[in-house]
C-alpha cells in the first residue's frame, strides 16, 4: 500500500504516467459539445464519490442528467473568478484492463444549452484542465480516508474478537476450576464411600460367620 501512494505522489509531482487533461468534443443530448477530459488513477466508484462529496462540501448538490451529474451555479475561483458556471461531470472506467483508472469528463455550461469552448472561452478551458488535474489529489486524499476507515473497522472487529476470546478464556478457567474442585470432592467422597463399603462388607462377613453357631 505504501508503494502505491509513493507511486501516485511521484506521478503528481512529475506530471507523467497519466495523460494530461485535454480539450475534446463529446456527445450530449445527441449534440456535439466541447468538453475537457482527464484521467484519475483510481476506480470509478471512488472517483465519483470523492468528487461528488467534494462539491457537496462546497454547497453544491449534483443532479443526474443523462450520464452526467450536473452542479448548477458553481463558483470555482481556479476556473473563473468573475462568474459561475453549470458544471457537468461524468466519470467512467477507462477500460476493462485498467479498472483502477477513471476518465473524468467536464462540460462547462454557460446557460441556454451553451457550453464553454476553446475559442470564446480559452482561459476557462485552460483553467478547467488544470483544475481537473488538481482533483487527483482530492481523490487520493478521499481514498486514503476510506482505507483508514476500513482499517479502523478491521481493528474494531479484531479488538472485539480478542475481548470475546478473553471472556471465553475466563469462562473456561472458571469452569476448569469448578471441575477441578468437583474432581477433588469426588475423590474424597469416593474414598469415604470405599471405606464405608469395606466396613459394611466386614459387618456382613461377621453376620454370616454367626450362622455356623446357630441351629434352627
Relative orientation angle of helices 122-209 and 44-57, to the nearest 10 degrees? 110
Q: How confident is the model at residue 115 (pLDDT cuts 50, 70, 90)?
A: very high
Q: Rounded mean pLDDT of the chain?
A: 88
C-alpha cell read off for 5:
501512494
Closest CA to 92 of 32, 19, 42: 42
In this structure, how many other beta carbons lie within 10 angstroms of the beta carbon of residue 107?
21
Residue 17, pLDDT score: 46
Domain containing residue 92 = 2-150
* Average confidence (pLDDT) over 83-94: 92
Residue 211, pLDDT score: 80
Q: How confident is the model at residue 9 (pLDDT cuts 50, 70, 90)?
A: very low
Residue 89, pLDDT score: 95
* Average confidence (pLDDT) over 5-17: 43
* Average confidence (pLDDT) over 93-110: 92
pLDDT reading at 12 higher than 60: no
Does residue 166 fall inside a structural domain?
no
pLDDT reading at 6 higher than 80: no
Does residue 178 fall inside a structural domain?
no
Does residue 95 fall inside a structural domain?
yes
Does residue 156 fall inside a structural domain?
no
Q: Please tell me whether residue 55 adopts helix, strand or coil conformation.
A: helix
Helix (H), strand (E) at residue 136: helix 122-209
Does residue 199 fall inside a structural domain?
no
Residue 189, pLDDT score: 95
Number of domains in the chain: 1
Residue 213, pLDDT score: 72
Q: How confident is the model at residue 29 (pLDDT cuts 50, 70, 90)?
A: confident
pLDDT in tens, 157-187: 999 999 999 999 999 999 999 999 999 999 9
Residue 113, pLDDT score: 80
Does residue 116 fall inside a structural domain?
yes
Residue 72, pLDDT score: 92
Taking the C-alpha atoms of residue 161 and residue 103, their distance in angstroms, rounded to an integer, is 41
Does residue 23 fall inside a structural domain?
yes
Residues in the chain: 216
Q: Terminal CA-to-CA distance of the chain, rounded, Å?
A: 103
pLDDT in tens, 119-149: 998 999 999 999 999 999 999 999 999 999 9
CATH for 27: 3.30.530
Residue 216, pLDDT score: 58
Q: How confident is the model at residue 110 (pLDDT cuts 50, 70, 90)?
A: confident
Does residue 180 fall inside a structural domain?
no
Amino acid at each position: 500500500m505504501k508503494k502505491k501512494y509513493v507511486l501516485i505522489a511521484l506521478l503528481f509531482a512529475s506530471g507523467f504516467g497519466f495523460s494530461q487533461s485535454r480539450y475534446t468534443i463529446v456527445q450530449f443530448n445527441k449534440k456535439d459539445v466541447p468538453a475537457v477530459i482527464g484521467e484519475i488513477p483510481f476506480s470509478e466508484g471512488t472517483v465519483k464519490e470523492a468528487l461528488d462529496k467534494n462539491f457537496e462540501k462546497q454547497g453544491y448538490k449534483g443532479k443526474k442528467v443523462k450520464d452526467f451529474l450536473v452542479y448548477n451555479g458553481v463558483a470555482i475561483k481556479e476556473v473563473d473568478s468573475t462568474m459561475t458556471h453549470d458544471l457537468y461531470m461524468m466519470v467512467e472506467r477507462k477500460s476493462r484492463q485498467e479498472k483502477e483508472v477513471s476518465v473524468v469528463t467536464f462540460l462547462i455550461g454557460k446557460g441556454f444549452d451553451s457550453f464553454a469552448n476553446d475559442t470564446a472561452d480559452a482561459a476557462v478551458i485552460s483553467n478547467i484542465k488544470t483544475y481537473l488535474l488538481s482533483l487527483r489529489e482530492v481523490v487520493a486524499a478521499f481514498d486514503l480516508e476510506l482505507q483508514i476507515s476500513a482499517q479502523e473497522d478491521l481493528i474494531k472487529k479484531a479488538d472485539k474478537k480478542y475481548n470475546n476470546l478473553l471472556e471465553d478464556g475466563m469462562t473456561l478457567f472458571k469452569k476448569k476450576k469448578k471441575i477441578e474442585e468437583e474432581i477433588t470432592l469426588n475423590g474424597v467422597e469416593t474414598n469415604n464411600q470405599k471405606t464405608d463399603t469395606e466396613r459394611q462388607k466386614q459387618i456382613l462377613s461377621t453376620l454370616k460367620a454367626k450362622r455356623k453357631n446357630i441351629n434352627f
